[in-house]
A and B are shown apart, each in its own frame.
Chain A
Amino acid sequence: MANIAAKRIKREFKEVMKSEEVAGGDIKLELVNDCWTELQGEIAGPPDTPYEGGTFLLEIKVPETYPFNPPKIRFMTKIWHPNVSSATGAICLDILKDQWAAALTLRTVLLSIQALLSAAEPNDPQDAVVAKQYRENPQLFNMTARHWTNIYAGGPTSVWEFNQKVQRLLDMGIDEHQARVALSTYDWELERATEQLFC
């Protein structure tokens, strides 16, 4: 990897490790390989959001041309959020695209992603289905996001009704995650979700 990219990442890694956010358990960073091209980030779901209490893993890939191009980051933990693809974990965040600036660091990027969980941008969605629910049925969106946080990110709030509905589809031989996606997509209407799964 280019000298400048490795040098930057080494320094940024140290910066994150020394930061108060790491001390406070807000973010974490780990190396995946020893050539500094791949890291794994971890952010805590912010308080007063449906993601509170959850821990979200991020895949971080550093391009050869870093810091002239942004790092490639996606959620490895499944998450229900208008700006994150529920299928791939791809993130829609301006600073990871055209608003990238070479002076941004892994620390500032991780904090920006965390901030995105507190303040979604439904007008610039990555996942149209989630964004629609966010706008039209905020309460149901909150419950769904909380449920996903409980199942995939270790969040504390178990939603009994949703678990039951997933179980019903499981009993019909549907894959668990597939069932949860279908139910979340159709506002937890069991009939429409079933219809979609079996059509």
Chain B
Amino acid sequence: MGFEIKRFQGDVDEELICPICSGVLEDPLQAPTCEHAFCRACITEWISRQPTCPVDRQAVTACQLRPVPRILRNLLSRLCTSCDNAPHGCNAVLKLDSLASHLVECEFNPKRPMSCEAGCGLVIPKDELAEHNCVRELRALIATQQGKLTDFQQELAEQRLTINEHKRELALLKEFMRAMRVSNPTMRALADQMEREEVVRWANSLARARVTRWGGMISTPDDALQVMMIKRSLSESGCPPHIIDDLMENCHERRWPPGLCSLETRQNNRRLYEKYVCKRVPGKQAVLVLQCDNTHVDEHMMVEPGLVMIFAHGIE
């Protein structure tokens, strides 16, 4: 839709007026043969109703519309107009082709986003600043947040319900599998095989770790803190659930094999440490020495399903 003709200085040539909206042509297009010109928005709207030229009713389709000649565009771009925000105090007089860039930065734009200096810091259109009330706006904000919170809580409750259902089903399933294993030797072999493969798959997914200072080993870690953190990290890395509790037990020297279970034996076997294939416990100063990775290690240096060694430092 074209520009209000009253905004222009002096007379505007009839040729630059859109016959549809009677404003000064905005982004004009012309019909192919008769060359009648219209604003893009105006002619598009008209052609969507009937495919004719609105002046002489010659057949025209949307894809036949062409840009207007350069001379017409030049005439248009040289017209001098007032700013859209003239009613709000802007006195700028602009060439039509620089109007768009002026509007972006015109400080009289009543909708220019301003941030509230009175305390709330919300960004609001300039013309709403006078009516703006921080407390009211923030209350409204709190109300919407509260609404969202209620929605989330409800969703959470529903999820909990579903999770509980799944837990019950899972427990039943486990029970059933256990019964199958006990009653059927083939099933037992199969299940053991599956569990072993799962451990190998997980072991292969972990990065190799290098211990630079075996002396930093903590043989009696604090259960509550260190062990729980390690457990979470293992769980997140995909540790098969049937070995995780055993692994956690094997963090402490009381469960370590004869070759490791006291300071004295450890000092005697120190040279064997280098044989261990160690894996990273992601994000922790700890390594996993899994039995499946260390079949080459002497029996008195290994336990099922593997060892967890926590260090004060020195893991790469």
Contacts and interface: CB of A to CB of B under 8 A. Distances in A.
B22 A102 contact: no
B54 A7 contact: no
A101 B42 CA distance: 13
8 contacts: A3-B1, A4-B21, A11-B5, A11-B22, A68-B45, A68-B46, A102-B54, A103-B36
Contacts, number: 40
B259 interface: no
A99 B57 contact: yes
Contacts of A3: 1
Interface string B1-44: 10011000000000000011111000000000000100000100
**B interface, size bucket:** 20 to 34
A67 B20 contact: yes
B52 interface: yes
B22 A7 contact: yes
B55 A103 contact: yes
Nearest to B57: A101
Given A3-B1, A7-B4, A68-B46, A103 B21 contact: no
A132 interface: no
A67 B22 CA distance: 10
Interface in B36-80: 36, 42, 45-46, 49-50, 52-57
A165 interface: no
Q: Interface of chain B, helix or strand or loop or mixed?
A: loop
A8 interface: yes
A98 B50 CA distance: 9
Contacts of A8: 21-22
Which 5 A-B pairs give the minimum distances between C-beta atoms? Answer: A102-B54, A103-B19, A103-B55, A102-B20, A103-B54
Contacts of A7: 4, 21-23
A7 B1 CA distance: 11
Nearest to A3: B1
Interface string A108-134: 000000000000000000000000000
Contacts of B52: 101
A150 B36 CA distance: 45
Contacts of B1: 3-4
B265 to A, nearest CB: 92
Contacts of B36: 103
Interface string A11-25: 110000000000000
Contacts of B50: 98
A8 B2 CA distance: 11
A15 to B, nearest CB: 9
Interface string A154-178: 0000000000000000000000000
A81 B285 CA distance: 103
A32 to B, nearest CB: 21
A196 B20 CA distance: 50
A102 B19 contact: yes
A102 B46 contact: yes
A76 B93 CA distance: 48
Nearest to A69: B49
Contacts of B23: 7
B132 to A, nearest CB: 28
A99 B55 CA distance: 11
A102 B44 CA distance: 12
A3 B42 CA distance: 13
A103 B34 CA distance: 14
B134 to A, nearest CB: 35
A191 B166 CA distance: 95
Given A4-B21, A98-B50, 11 more contacts: A7-B21, A7-B23, A8-B21, A11-B22, A67-B20, A67-B54, A68-B45, A99-B57, A101-B53, A101-B54, A103-B20
Nearest to B45: A68
B4 to A, nearest CB: 7
Contacts of B49: 68-69
Q: Among the interface residues B21, B23, B36, B52, which one has the most CB atoms of the partner chain A within 10 A?
A: B21
A164 to B, nearest CB: 49
A101 B22 contact: no
Contacts of A98: 50
Contacts of B53: 101
Contacts of A99: 57
